[in-house]
Structure 1
Amino acid sequence: YGTNSEFGFDYLRDNGMASRAEDQVQRGHYYSIVDEVDSILIDEARTPLIISGPAAASLDKEYRKANPKIKSLVQAQHKLVAGYLIEAEKISKQLLSENRPENADEMELELGLLLYKARLGQPKGERLLRLMEEAQNQKLIDKAELSLHADQSKKELYAQKEELYFGMEEKSHDADLTEKGRTFLNPNDTEAFMLPDLSVEQHDIDNDESLDAQSRLAAKTKLQDEFKIKAENIHITGQLLKAYSLYVKDVAYVVQENKVIIVDEHTGRAMPGRRWSDGLHQAVEAKEGVTIEQETQTLATITIQNYFRLYTKLAGMTGTAATEAQEFFDIYKLGVLVIPTHEPCIRDDANDSVYKTRREKYNAVLDEVKEVHRQGRPILVGTVSVEVSEYISRLLKKNGIIHSVLNAKYHEQEAEIITRAGQKGSVTIATNMAGRGTDIKLGQGVEPIGGLHVMGTERHESRRIDRQLRGRCARQGDAGST
């Protein structure tokens, strides 16, 4: 009995590191029963299990040295993007006004381009995300992007990109310095971020008749060393730009005890010991000013899906498999059997309430917490990230509502918080840590007044996480609402 990752790592160690048969711990893969099977085999199916070792060269000094320059570059870019967004907000207001301007089509194109540049320059910016809440703006960005990519020569696309210091593609995680950015980082040598063509340069050395054999060898070695240093600098710059632009503190990771700890997006739990590879973790450490640990390289890897396919027979159980029956059959050739509950479920599920702005939404969350709290019922507020859970916590604190917070930062108190969560009048804010497999027992006098009330503050990436959150109340025939 153990966790999926531990079994996967045992398999990797047995096949990659054990030198004698008696060092191997697994006996073969015959039969496996997986608890919360949809989480393991579907949500985390593509999660790679990686055994890594220290990389040959450690670049921690280089990351620390490059960080201040990149930080100022990112700040300069944020100023630039803020300008675009102020302009975009003005145009957006004019377009939404009652008297639609005559040149509305041109304005829409301009707004689309401004938002496209802002997204390329600062994809996780708060202000941009607020503007993107308007569905119309999303359409305009897509339209602008389409028109830029439709041009065969890509001239206009490059012209738009060159206005920024760097472009950051959120989907592909590619950071691309522009001419402006290269000049900002190294005004004396803009070629510092351009890799030379080794084959051409080596060909020139071979054809240089003024050099003897030894001088040619020395010139080639020098050329390769310069190439290596440039390649390292480009790599470090790219990783630092990603760390500043795509990895948000308290969403993708938390900082504790001078360490950067990754937060699992599916379970909301901190994962000490796990590190991003290819120097990305070092870049985030440099950004946060904590101790930069040694870079790692991958030695062996397998995905969770491929690991479980090794078993001759596979079975599992979960409360949320019916909606994924087709996927279980297509990938694992597993049928899904729905077993009726031991007691009839009397949970009262309300529909989603949708708000135009975040402020209205959080005010509605506050009003609902107050109302349910007034009735004396316990309430569980589900959030998608550490950041949101702390924001709601501040909101409740301002309004004098006593509550507990369960997220990756406070995982030590998890058992205690869950024990209290079903008591009369208790308010608990939690990330999806409190979603799966958590059994909240109702305190005395809670059942007659309606049981536990569960409220999700937004939809998760996976509908199963939402359904699991709903399933935290009204267990074993108890009353409850969501």
Structure 2
Amino acid sequence: MFRVLNKVFDTNQRDVQRIIKTVVQPVNALEEEMKSVENLAEAFMALRKRVQEGGETLDDVIVPAFALIREAGRRSIGKRHYDVQLIGGAALHQGRIAEMRTGEGKTLVATLALALNALEGKGCHLVTVNDYLARVGMEEMGLLYRTLGLTVGLANRDLQPFQKQEAYACDITYVTNSELGFDYLRDNMAQSREQLVLRADTPLHFAIVDEVDSILIDEARTPLIISGAAEKATDQYYVFAKLIRRLQRGEPAEPGKRAEPTGDYTIDEKGKQVHMTEAGISKIERLLSIPDLYSPENMDKAHMITQAVRARELYQREKDYIVNADGEVIIIDEFTGRSMPGRRYGEGLHQAIEAKEGVKIENENQTLATITYQNFFRLYAKFAGMTGTAKTEEKEFLDIYGSDVLVIPTNKPILRQDADDLVYRTRLGKYNAVVQEVQQMHVTGRPILIGTASIDTSEQLSELLKAADIPHSVLNAKYEAQEASIIAQAGRSGTVTIATNMAGRGTDIMLGGNAEYVLGEAIEQHFGLNRFEPTAEAFIKAISRQDPAAEALGMQIPGMVPDFIRQAQQLQAETVADRARVQELGGLHIVGTERHESRRIDNQLRGRAGRQGDPGSSRFYVSFEDELMRLFANDRVVGMMDKLGMDDSQPIEAKMVTGAIERAQARVEDRNFGIRKQLLEFDNVMSKQRDTIYAQRREVLLGPDEDVEESTEGMVADFTEMQLAYYAPIDQAPESWDLETLKANLTDAVPALEEYDFEALRSLAPADVHAHVLTAVADAFDARREELSPTMMNSMSRYVLLQVVDQHWKEHLHGMDVLRQGIGLRGYGQRDPFTEYKFEATNMFNDMIDNIKGEVTKFLFRMAFSQAG
């Protein structure tokens, strides 16, 4: 009965069938016809004309477009889109999240939606998680796009602004998520049109986000921030790093057991928070010789002490960060295991960690521009995403981004066998069991991939494998330079690879190894030739197909020698033979050394085995000392193990236990979703303000001179109205007006009003008072324009607006940071912190706008110019 109900309510299957009927089948019907098209670029540009000039929509031309793109792939790079890839391409075009298993060819799938949407001529972005994937994707697929007459570019951090402008002006641009976000923020700090790198007319039209769950969920809690140095002493962090060594960690209060917490502070590991006890506060006040730690003048000290304790207790070296050879503290991405150079913890936490490690403390920074990935990608007219694991997070994608998940069928059935978890009492028992299993499998020659959650674990396991005399490779944040080459060969027989979280590695593990990758690296190294250059690529493809024409193609490469060609052919033959051997042994075996907080990360590790119908298997090893189990699992299970007399070498293996672990993960996912949703709610308040400022700023930067002057004239009038409303309100008796202060404020901003008779306002009809003053101010504005010349007035208006808005926005961001840090305390007064935050933020924004109008007025009338010569 349940199977029948599942079929009835399986909207995923219905959507897939609908795409097969409306897109895949019609595209297949055109396949033979497309093979006879001589000029694919000409045919594709004809579709562009139909869309841009003929009034047709992309949906009207999707079938011939996909047919041409498939044919371009076949001709240019020797890759024909599978039917399931056409389904994925259609889902991306619809603005959905496409879940595609590892090895299903997401890079090729993206070409369908990108090329189709490029017909509108407004620019499309393929967003990846790192520069390597962006470059490889652009180079590998560039030939396909150019065959269709499209331009393709790469926007990376090493480019000059004019080069980035060229990249973003292309039909399709490959770029990393962080670089794209920072380019958007930098564009909104630009002082001239020439400094803009994104398109001025349609900067954010269509994007496909690769590894979308990693970017839009895992990184959603960390906003993008452009910052400048703030004036704040940093040497105090060293003082507090030493001081907290004299504090004792305690235990929180427990209802029915302890009425009060113990020690000087307690830790909330789940929320990564620190709570000072009354005893701890008194001790700090005594040590610092201050009467009140939480008085306004000591708030900075209280904040630094809290961050020092967090750094000591909650952030571990080799897990949360590493210290490189230059003494820099580099954050490790908790989901991908990659280092994130240039990224810093906020609110003084990074400085506290630097003090703890005894390295140089970098200056604290002040926020100049910021945005979360959540709000950034919602700025696109349409965006889609693709990943191997998204269905478990569909609720979040729907709630926050309005995008549902479509699970794309695999091209070949998945043969991987996933065993139930083995649960041990202690970490040591678990690690011994992992080494034992690796020993047993390594003897057979089967390749093994061991997934760990931290550098510390990977290196601990590496030592145990060395002791067992098992050769292996280690991939973690310390060895990222060898990342692609290690992963590319992790499927060779007898290979053992230890890797921190495998999310978004971007390189498929091919059974028997990847001869194409090794050959491409060798060509680049020995002959200085890009592996994606047509001649080199054709040679590599011919070698991989064991084509007799490979020798002739190879000799077209400058400096190529017959010995190298023979070695390449031998390498490919060995790879083919090894692939057959590994398949016979059962394929790649995955060993997970602990469960991650997110089921997605576990599924990504598992997904490394069983690509494209390959055999494979996986098993996770868990202990009750693991962080997830310690914080969220049921203590009764440990008690049961004790009663049964089970020791470290005896695991529990049962679906019930695996189910309990997954339920614990689901709870953590829900909690993290709540954190991200709360972050978004707070950022939405800022987002509306940011959109207003950036929209006005863009109008100033790109708008015609007359519009800019009209804006400044309007600000001058608004400032005058505000002063009149406050000091000469028409609903009050004229004798009560404070005309002296009104005159002081207005003449300070508009010196030309010095001779204006403000006292005469009392004798005017109330309805005429404001109009009379506004006319005088307008006359002063006209006189200022004549004094400077209209051209100079326009230039000055633009300059003044940008400078004043930027300065006040920077100060507003700092004020919002301070407000956000302290708003939680309102909860103790039975007031909702979020409601209070919205109220306070709105008042602060309105005050900022009023201050901007006043300062713009003052600068316009008082700025002096010196003439050279």
Deviations 1:115-159 (A, max 9, x none): xx1xx5xxxxxxxxxxxxxxxxxxxxxxx63447xxxxxxx64xx
- Higher gyration radius (CA): 2
* Matches for 1:215-364 after TM superposition, within 5 Å: 228=297, 230-257=298-325, 258-364=327-433
Match of 1:60, SS state, is coil
Alignment RMSD, CA only?
2.3
**Separation in 1 of the partners of 2:235 and 2:395?**
51
Q: Is the 8 A contact 2:488 2:507 kept in 1?
A: no
Deviates more, 1:413-422 or 1:367-376: 413-422
- Which of 236, 241, 244 is the equivalent residue of 1:67? 241
- The structure in which a higher percent of residues are helix is 2
Q: Which residue of the partner structure matches residue 263 of structure 2?
A: 164
Does the 8 A contact of 1:407 with 1:433 survive in 2? no
Asked if residue 175 in structure 1 is aligned to residue 301 in structure 2, the reply is no
- CA-CA distance at 1:478 after TM superposition: 1.8
TM-score by length of 1: 0.72
Find 1:21's aligned residue among 193, 213, 238.
Answer: 193
Give the conservation status (yes or no) of the 8 Å contact 1:435–1:469. no
Work out whether residues 268 and 407 of structure 1, in 8 Å CA contact, stay in contact via their aligned partners in 2.
yes
Tell me how far 1:189 sits from its aligned partner.
6.1
Which of 586, 589, 608 pairs up with 1:472?
Answer: 608
Calculate percent identity across the aligned residue pairs.
Answer: 56
How far apart, in 1, do the equivalents of 2:456 and 2:340 lie?
17
The partner residue of 1:437 within 506, 518, 522 is 506
What is the CA–CA distance in structure 2 between the aligned matches of 1:71 and 1:11, rounded to whole Å?
Answer: 43
Post-superposition shift, 1:40? 2.3
| TM-score in terms of structure 2 length | 0.41
Mapped contact 1:435–1:472 kept (Cα < 8 A): no
Moved more, 258-267 or 426-435: 426-435
Query: What is the CA–CA distance in structure 2 between the aligned matches of 1:244 and 1:368, rounded to whole Å?
Result: 36
Counterpart of 1:344, as a letter, is P
State the SS of the aligned residue for 2:398.
helix
CA deviation map 1:261-298 (0-9, x unaligned): 10111211100111112211111011111111111122
Distance change (3 Å), C-alpha of 1:387 and 1:463: same
Give me the whole-angstrom Cα distance separating, in 1, the residues matched to 2:427 and 2:274.
30
Contact 1:406 1:433 in 2 (8 A): no
The higher relative CO (CA closer than 8 Å, separation ≥ 6) is in 1
Q: Counterpart in 2 of 1:5?
A: 178
Match of 1:393, SS?
Answer: helix
Choose the corresponding residue for 1:51, options 223, 226, 234. 226
Name the structure 2 match of 1:221. Answer: none
Could you tell me which residue of structure 1 aligns to residue 843 of structure 2? none
Measure the CA separation in 2 of the matches of 1:327 and 1:265: 20
Q: Which runs of 5+ in 1 are unaligned?
A: 82-116, 121-143, 149-155, 197-226
SS in 1 for 2:450: strand
In the TM superposition, residue 333 of structure 1 has moved relative to its aligned partner by: 2.7
Aligned-partner Cα distance in 2 for 1:177–1:342: 56
Q: Residue type of the partner of 1:465? A: I
Shift of residue 171 of structure 1? 4.7
Q: Secondary structure at the match of 1:464?
A: helix
The alignment status of 1:446 with 2:582, answered yes or no, reads yes
Which amino acid letter does the alignment assign opposite residue 254 of structure 2? E
8 Å CA contact 2:335, 2:503 repeated in 1: no
AA paired with 1:281? H
CA distance in 1, matches of 2:406, 2:302: 53
**Where does structure 2 lack aligned partners over 5 or more consecutive residues?**
1-173, 513-577, 619-869
Q: Does 1:461 pair with 2:633?
A: no
Residue deviations 1:219-254, cap 9 Å, x none? xxxxxxxx64x3332222221111101111111111
Number of matched residues? 374
Tell me which moved more, 316-325 or 418-427: 316-325
Rate the CA distance shift 1:285–1:341 in 2: closer, same or farther, 3 A: same
Deviations 1:340-372 (A, max 9, x none): 222222212212222232222222211111111
Q: CA deviation at 1:176?
A: 4.1
Give the whole-Å Cα distance in 1 for the aligned partners of 2:461 and 2:467: 10
| In 1: Cα distance, 2:499 partner to 2:266 partner | 35
Separation in structure 2 between the aligned mates of residue 193 and residue 170 of structure 1, nearest angstrom:
27
Task: Flag the 1:70–1:331 CA change in 2: closer, same or farther, 3 A.
Answer: closer
